[in-house]
Amino acid sequence: MMMWLVGAVFKALRVASNLVFFFEAQRLLGCLIKPTSDERVQRVDQKVLEAAGVELRHENVKCAGYKIRTVFCGNPTDPPLVLIHGHSMSSSFWYRNFADLVNMGYYVIGLDLLGWGRSERPFYSGETVEDSVHFYMESFNEWRVNLRLEKFSVIAHSIGAYLAYEFAKRHPGTVTRLMLVTPAAIEQRLSLLTGIYFTLTPQTVARRLGLLGYLLFEMKFPKEEPYTANSLKDLTWQLNCRPTPSGDIAIRHLIEFESWNRPVVKRPFINSLEHLEMPVHVVSADMDTLVSIQSVENLYRALVKTGTECTYNVTIGSNHCPFLEVPDQFREIVGKYFDRKMRAGA
Ligand SMILES: *[C@@H]1O[C@H](CO)[C@@H](O)[C@H](O)[C@H]1NC(C)=O
């Protein structure tokens, strides 16, 4: 009996050590096949931004000791327009829009939110929804104070739109015009898969799993041209692998599991609306698999009820990122409300 037990224990140890060996070996292989480094992030980011076809200036803006990567484009005497990206993205994901927005008469400023993109990724220790919003919004506010942005327009995407709305609410008089593009976290209800995806923090998975992580990324990453052209896919991978996914972790606290199979948004966008002074433009995408067009419409109707001046447009043939997938349609919609030359003529 004793001998049998010892034998079983040794066998189990051998299996475990083989598994560990396999895991580490494939991780090493992953590092060799898809190496990641800050230098590579920079190179691939440069490639994406070169495709913008317009002159851009980079700067790391210091706020509260953290570096916030910022991209500037256009004439500094024009009114500022701030671009806020969504989950796991960065200011570079607007590369197909910079030139259009400059042509509409704006000084365009894109930032990488704290914890994401090429901005600093400090250790995140918050727990509550308020902590998460605070993490982004405090740094965002310091950033715009440092840049002396007192009045500016905002175009914000997905979870960035959720955060931008919070900012506009808390800092009345700063935002002159707000566009919410396929805003996320609208309603409490959340699909199980989305819940798991955002709870596991995709960046951690990509970073820790090595080759397996890369294969998963390959499987999950969209195959359509807008997402793969001009090194954007490479940039996504490099950004996913940057150490300390604090951006992901902070967002994780917006979601909780009521039961093992029922993830919910803790403070849904639609429950935190109030009357705003500036015009708000809501844009949805007819093929959005992450945020249903119905949810966005519900948000729009709820916004109208607050007495806020607002409009609603649907982009056709686009999934979650219309500014990237159907940039011409996006330009048309934005132009209708933002084009200063057209508006001056009207
Ligand atoms: C956006 O919506 C407005 C109001 O419904 C409409 O007049 C306009 O044509 C739409 N613009 C585009 C580009 O779809």
In this structure, are residues 58 and 70 in contact, taking their beta carbons and an 8 Å threshold?
yes
CA of 341 to the centre of ligand 1 (A): 18
Which candidate, 28, 40, 71, places its Cα nearest to that of 241?
Answer: 40
Question: Mean pLDDT across the stretch 158-173?
Answer: 94
Report the nearest-CA residue for atom 11 of ligand 1.
Answer: 333
pLDDT for 343: 67
Report the nearest-CA residue for atom 6 of ligand 1.
Answer: 313
| pLDDT surpassing 90 at residue 93 | yes
With 0-12 CB in 10 A as exposed, 13-18 as middle and 19+ as buried, what is 49? Answer: buried
pLDDT for 159: 93
| pLDDT surpassing 70 at residue 47 | yes
CA of 283 to the centre of ligand 1 (A): 10
Mutual orientation of helices 129-146 and 159-170 as an angle, nearest 10°? 70
CA of 330 to the centre of ligand 1 (A): 11
pLDDT for 344: 64
CA of 17 to the centre of ligand 1 (A): 62
Residues 287-303: tens digit of each pLDDT = 999 899 999 999 999 99
pLDDT for 216: 83
Q: Is 313 in the pocket of ligand 1 (CB under 6 A)?
A: yes
In this structure, are residues 49 and 92 in contact, taking their beta carbons and an 8 Å threshold?
yes
Tell me the backbone φ, ψ of residue 308, rounded to 5 degrees: -75, 140
Report the nearest-CA residue for atom 10 of ligand 1.
Answer: 313
DSSP string of 5-38? HHHHHHHHHHHHHHHHHHHHHHHHHHHHHS---H
Would you say the C-alpha torsion 135, 141, 145, 147 has a positive or negative sign? positive
Question: Which of 40 and 27 is assigned the larger pLDDT?
Answer: 40
In this structure, are residues 153 and 81 in contact, taking their beta carbons and an 8 Å threshold?
yes
Least confident of 105-119, 207-221, 232-246: 207-221
| pLDDT surpassing 80 at residue 152 | yes
Angstrom CA distances, 61 to 72, 242, 337, stand at 11, 19, 29
Q: Cα angle vertex 37, ends 36, 40, to 5°?
A: 90
Question: Which of 202 and 12 is assigned the larger pLDDT?
Answer: 12
CA of 333 to the centre of ligand 1 (A): 7
Query: Encoding tokens for residue 32?
Result: 């060799």
Distance of CA 266 to the CA centre of its chain: 19
The percentage of residues in the chain with a pLDDT greater than 90, rounded to a whole number, is 59
DSSP 8-state assignment for residue 128: S
Q: Is 332 in the pocket of ligand 1 (CB under 6 A)?
A: yes
Q: Is 59 in the pocket of ligand 1 (CB under 6 A)?
A: no
Q: Is 333 in the pocket of ligand 1 (CB under 6 A)?
A: yes
Question: Which of 186 and 192 is assigned the larger pLDDT?
Answer: 186
Q: Is 336 in the pocket of ligand 1 (CB under 6 A)?
A: yes
Q: Which atom of ligand 1 lies at the shortest distance from residue 315's CA?
A: 14
Question: Mean pLDDT across the stretch 262-281?
Answer: 92
pLDDT for 104: 94
Report the nearest-CA residue for atom 13 of ligand 1.
Answer: 333
Question: Which of 207 and 286 is assigned the larger pLDDT?
Answer: 286
| pLDDT surpassing 50 at residue 327 | yes
pLDDT for 64: 79
- CATH superfamily of the 38-338 domain: Alpha/Beta hydrolase fold, catalytic domain (3.40.50.1820)
Q: What does the CA dihedral 76, 327, 287, 304 come to, rounded to 10 degrees? A: 40
Best residue among 181, 313, 318, 342 to mutate for probing ligand 1, ranked by most atoms within 8 Å of CB: 313
Residues 188-210: tens digit of each pLDDT = 888 887 787 777 776 777 777 88
Length of the chain: 346
CA of 313 to the centre of ligand 1 (A): 6
Q: Which atom of ligand 1 lies at the shortest distance from residue 314's CA?
A: 14
Average pLDDT, the chain: 90
Best residue among 284, 304, 311, 329 to mutate for probing ligand 1, ranked by most atoms within 8 Å of CB: 311
Kindly indicate the confidence band of residue 252, based on its pLDDT and cuts at 50, 70 and 90. confident
Residues 67-92: tens digit of each pLDDT = 999 999 999 999 999 999 999 899 99
Q: Which atom of ligand 1 lies at the shortest distance from residue 312's CA?
A: 2
d(C-alpha 62, C-alpha 68), whole Å: 6
d(C-alpha 29, C-alpha 20), whole Å: 14
Report the nearest-CA residue for atom 12 of ligand 1.
Answer: 333
Element (H, E) at 343: helix 340-345
CA of 336 to the centre of ligand 1 (A): 8
| pLDDT surpassing 50 at residue 346 | no
